[in-house]
Structure 1
Amino acid sequence: MTNFLEPPRLRVGEDIEEERRTTWLELFYDLVFVVAVSQLAHNLKEDISLSGLFGFVVLFIPIWWSWIGTTLYANRFDSDDVVHRLLIGLQMLTAAAMAINIHHGLAESSAGFALSYALGRAVLVIEYIRAGIHIPSARLLTTQYATGFAIAAFFWLISAAVPIPWRFGFWTLGIIIDFVTPLIGSKFQIGLLPHASHLPERFGLFTLIVLGEAIIAVVNGMSQQKWDVLTVIAAVFGLLIAFSWWWVYFDNLGGTPIEMARTHGRISVVNLWLYTHLPLVIGIAAAGVSVEQILLSKPTIALPDSQRWLICGSVALCSLSVSILHRYGVLRYCKIRSQYRLVSAGVLLAIAIFGQGLLPVAIISLVALVSAAQVVQDLYQSRPTTRLVDPEI
């Protein structure tokens, strides 16, 4: 901390090529979202049905968007002064309040959840106004963001006073405005693109948070179950699923979207990178829940339909998301890898459709093998001889 009241400074633009790492404050901030994701997973464990999955997604979106809002602001304007630290502290409090209200977030705690989210967005609006005051070159962008996020926060705020189910209509309006605001402000982003080394690292860290749920799932499942050969094998395959998608994601991660936007003016690629991460992290988090449920199920009885669809559908969603990221050069640009991810999503859905009657260990082993096949394909494709043949790989 260099100055007691150091004003926000532009962290992108002229210094875009400088290497920049995640700060200790950002890592500390992430801890609240570890808890929030865990609470979301707990909700889904209690109700693995279409309605339970819908509720999981509805509550996941504002949690993820809260993290995204603070992350994108810090990427452009972070300054380690006292005011910024205090504002981040307030955002941590609002995120913690959201986590507390998640358990009954679509019922009696929904008003508390809405108020917590609205207050968190209000703090973000204050940060953007502060940045606009001190950085004239960014004022068009900060004004656009502050206005859009303030309107969205207003809808969330008044929703707390509206009875269910109308309350959720205001949530929908608020989240739509939240999501559309960066898209409307795209023309102001060209000269203020995110930092090419910092943002991929931040996205990677949130991906690790949700991947951690898969590890927790294996530990919880094994600690509550009497060990036998089938359960141990299922646990190993559960870890293999998490390890495979960690490999696939982080081996292809980079700042390519930001570089493309800077050199070709393709800001749409950055937005695609941002929004496609939502189904990806939802899929990973749901996959962790499904692994735990499989480990807790009767190993000699066919896996229930809801659990089979959850693990196959969630991992298929991950595969489809990564396929899109490959296809448009958001992750490493490669048509072949994109096609393999798409095929794997289809195979996983086929397992869900035709796997009725299979034991839990059979389902999780098939999903793990499909996931591991993506790693094997990447390794095969990365051979020096292959790279000489096809420069797009």
Structure 2
Amino acid sequence: MSDDSAGAAVRAPSEEDRHASWLELFFDLVAVAGVAQIARLLHGTPGPADVGFYALLFLAFWTAWICFTLYANVADAGTHTRTVLFAMFGMAVMAAAVPGVHEGDDQHARVFALAYVLTRVLANRAWQHRRQVLVDWPAAQMSFGVTPWIVSLWVHEPARQWLWALGIVLDLYVTFAVSARDVVRHRAARERRESRRPGRVRAGGLSLARSQADHLSERLGLFVIIVLGEGVAQVIEAAADAPWERKLYGFSVAAFALLTAVWALSFRHGYAGVPHLAAGVLPARAALPLHCFLAGCLAALAAALGAAVEHLETLPNATRWLLCSALAGYFLLSGLAWLGRANRERRWLLCVPVPCCALPLLLAGFGARLSTLTVVWLLVLVALWPLLFERRRARLMPGSDG
């Protein structure tokens, strides 16, 4: 069967100058409030198990968010406000359940899983109503990865968390291994079978849809900027309860400088909040996971900065590793984004992503005797280095776009 016979004419998105609507902004704020709640799992002295649990819940929350972000992106004026509001409520319930889930409370864990399942099913129904299959992210309207979450409603720890992880892995598999046209063929065959049943009327054919790139990049960038703002809020909240002394003043300046440098890299030298990413160089299937993991690193960085306020003398090993590893992960993802560029230069790779990944990890491993202020200011220098490198290169090569 050819692609055309699957009802697969891709609908061209509107070329109008679109910006995020008030409903979408409201939705993003609720989503990032949930991310902030999940980031609190990293407060104190988190161990590897805490970091893994944070990553699991963050991936689940981001997946629910991107399903409806893409729905609104494609539907545009046809977005059902009630559908998005129900999704917001489901994500708010997930966020409220996070502390209890972390403490091992069965009721909170079941509520979190049930809210996630209902949110994903709602996304699936929204796409079925539109009779479209999204080319860029087929997992947005498929509930294949939801099955382990449903099973987890009757399972206790630790098997429950493994089922959740399996659900995330299945979603990633669908994202990279299943094409949208395969989804169309599967659903068309199923609907043909169902239409033969008495009393069933066959609906119109399915079509393929693509996301609107400029609008999607704005939504992704807004998510990143709100996460950075949450980092500032966490430092402010922690500083408000700490004794106001010289070390706190120095730390506050350093933390703000670090977040500002990250902002400049993400938005003045990046695209959609991803540093060193250029528009159109990566397909959405690659760019969206990149955005997910980058936002996760930034939320972890924000949590580590908030926790560091309580340890202005020296950082506990766990907090230092979290702080440095989050920044190293950020630069690792910037290097992956750079790989998509057409004008790649090996010199840039060796001068920016490699040292910016390696130095924070060296600082994490060998900086136990350094003061908190010294560690944070060294990370500021690491974050400023790509900006200084780009500025120097721009002076030497005026025609280069970096």
TM superposition score normalised by structure 2: 0.82
Q: Does 1:99 align with 2:95?
A: yes
Q: Does 1:153 align with 2:146?
A: yes
Aligned residues: 361
Match of 2:70 among 47, 69, 72: 72
Change (3 A) 1:274 1:39: same
Q: Does 1:216 align with 2:233?
A: yes
Q: CA deviation at 1:64?
A: 1.0
CA distance in 2, matches of 1:56, 1:23: 30
Q: Bigger CA drift: 212-221 or 93-102?
A: 212-221
Match for 2:41: what amino acid?
N
Match for 1:128: what amino acid?
W
Change (3 A) 1:102 1:28: same
Query: Relative contact order: is structure 1 or structure 2 higher (C-alpha 8 Å, sep ≥ 6)?
Result: 2
Match of 1:250 among 263, 267, 285: 267
1:281-300 aligned within 5 A: 281-297=295-311, 299=312
CA RMSD after TM alignment: 2.7
Q: CA deviation at 1:378?
A: 2.4
Match for 1:32: what amino acid?
V
Q: Does 1:20 align with 2:31?
A: no
1:1-393 aligned within 5 A: 13-15=11-13, 17-80=15-78, 84-106=80-102, 107-108=104-105, 109-132=108-131, 138=132, 145=139, 149-186=142-179, 188=181, 192-254=209-271, 259-260=280-281, 269-297=283-311, 299=312, 301-329=313-341, 337-339=348-350, 340-383=352-395, 385-388=396-399, 391=400, 393=402
Question: What per-residue deviation string (whole Å, max 9, x for no partner) do you get for residues 181-239 of structure 1?
Answer: 23244454997432121111111011112112220122022211112222211111101
Q: Secondary structure at the match of 1:19?
A: coil
Question: What per-residue deviation string (whole Å, max 9, x for no partner) do you get for residues 262-289 of structure 1?
Answer: xxxxxx6322211112221111111111
CA distance in 2, matches of 1:52, 1:210: 20
Q: CA deviation at 1:71?
A: 1.0
Query: Contact 2:60–2:168 at 8 Å: present in 1 too?
Result: yes
Query: Contact 1:291–1:311 at 8 Å: present in 2 too?
Result: yes
Query: Contact 1:214–1:238 at 8 Å: present in 2 too?
Result: no
Query: Contact 1:140–1:188 at 8 Å: present in 2 too?
Result: no
TM superposition score normalised by structure 1: 0.84
Match for 1:386: what amino acid?
M
Structure 1 residues without counterparts, runs of 5 or longer: 1-11, 133-137, 261-267
CA distance in 2, matches of 1:231, 1:381: 36
Query: Contact 1:214–1:239 at 8 Å: present in 2 too?
Result: no
Query: Contact 1:290–1:310 at 8 Å: present in 2 too?
Result: yes
Question: What per-residue deviation string (whole Å, max 9, x for no partner) do you get for residues 118-144 of structure 1?
Answer: 010010011110011xxxxx4586996
Q: CA deviation at 1:50?
A: 1.7
Q: Bigger CA drift: 47-56 or 182-191?
A: 182-191
Identity, in percent, stands at 25
CA distance in 1, matches of 2:34, 2:113: 15
CA distance in 1, matches of 2:345, 2:11: 29
Question: What per-residue deviation string (whole Å, max 9, x for no partner) do you get for residues 95-120 of structure 1?
Answer: 01100111122421211111110010
Q: Secondary structure at the match of 1:103?
A: helix
Q: CA deviation at 1:325?
A: 0.8
Change (3 A) 1:338 1:76: farther
Change (3 A) 1:258 1:75: farther
**Residue number in structure 1 paired with 2:6:** none
